[in-house]
Structure 1
Amino acid sequence: MEIIQIFGILFALFAMSRVILQIRNRNMGLDEGIFWLFVWILVVVVLVFPQTLSCLAGVLGVGRGVDAIIYLSIVVLFYLIYRMYARMEHLEREITKVVREVAIKDRHEPKSKNEG
């Protein structure tokens, strides 16, 4: 086993421990945690069995395993960016809704003598 594989496996195990800790502390949802655990488990599998990249490249019809990983990574990154965009849009709509409700509530409530 090459030294890069050892470092990669150690890093992936460290990342998995962080994900599990985030799930336990309720800083990450279970569905997100499972996704990231799956990603890091795949990293370990690829590092332990590098020939799986060649099989993946053959299935996807690309020349090398590294190319397959790069193409798949780009697709996953675009998906994650889309999810972040959708979540941000949802939060913006919720914030606008709350601000409107507060503004309407403040408008209809009489002001106290101290506020002037």
Structure 2
Amino acid sequence: MELIQIVGLIIILFALTRVIKQIKKKSMELEEGIFWLFVWLLALLIVIFPNFMSYLATVLGVGRGVDVIIYLSIILLFYLVYRIYARLEKLEREITKIVREIAIRDRYEPKKRD
């Protein structure tokens, strides 16, 4: 096993333990936790079996295994940016709704001044 594989294993195992800890503490939703467990387990398999990526590159018609990892990483990043954008839009709608409700309530129930 190469030094880079050992370093990768340590980082991945640390990330896996953090995800599991967050799921147990319920500071991460179960669906998100499963997603991140899948991502880190996939990374673990890539580190343990690096030749698989070369095989996958051949099957997909890509030059090298590293290129497959880069392409998949870019796709994953775009997906995550989309999820963040969708969540941000939802939060903005919720904040707007709350602010409107407060404004309407305060109009009909003015605060008493001391």
- TM-score, with length taken from structure 2: 0.96
Flag structure 2 segments of 5+ consecutive residues without an equivalent: none
Q: Does 1:61 align with 2:61?
A: yes
Amino acid at match of 1:58: T
Alignment correspondent of 2:9? 9
Amino acid at match of 1:59: V
Alignment correspondent of 2:29? 29
1:95-106 map, 5 Å? 95-106=95-106
Structure 1's 106 and 51: CA in aligned 2 closer, same or farther, altered over 3 A? Answer: same
Structure 1's 8 and 103: CA in aligned 2 closer, same or farther, altered over 3 A? Answer: same
Per-residue deviation at 1:26? 1.1
Amino acid at match of 2:104: I
Flag structure 1 segments of 5+ consecutive residues without an equivalent: none
Q: Within 1, Cα distance between the matches of 2:22 and 2:96? A: 29
Per-residue deviation at 1:59? 2.1
Per-residue deviation at 1:14? 0.5
Alignment correspondent of 2:84? 84
In angstroms, what is the RMSD of aligned CA positions?
Answer: 1.0
Deviations for 1:17-64, whole angstroms, at most 9, x for unmatched residues? 000111111111111111111111111111111111011111221010
Q: Within 2, Cα distance between the matches of 1:85 and 1:97? A: 19
Per-residue deviation at 1:110? 4.0
Alignment correspondent of 1:52? 52
Structure 1's 106 and 66: CA in aligned 2 closer, same or farther, altered over 3 A? Answer: same
Alignment correspondent of 2:71? 71
* % same residue: 64
Q: Which consecutive aligned stretches of 4+ in structure 1 deviate over 6 angstroms post-superposition?
A: none
Amino acid at match of 2:11: F
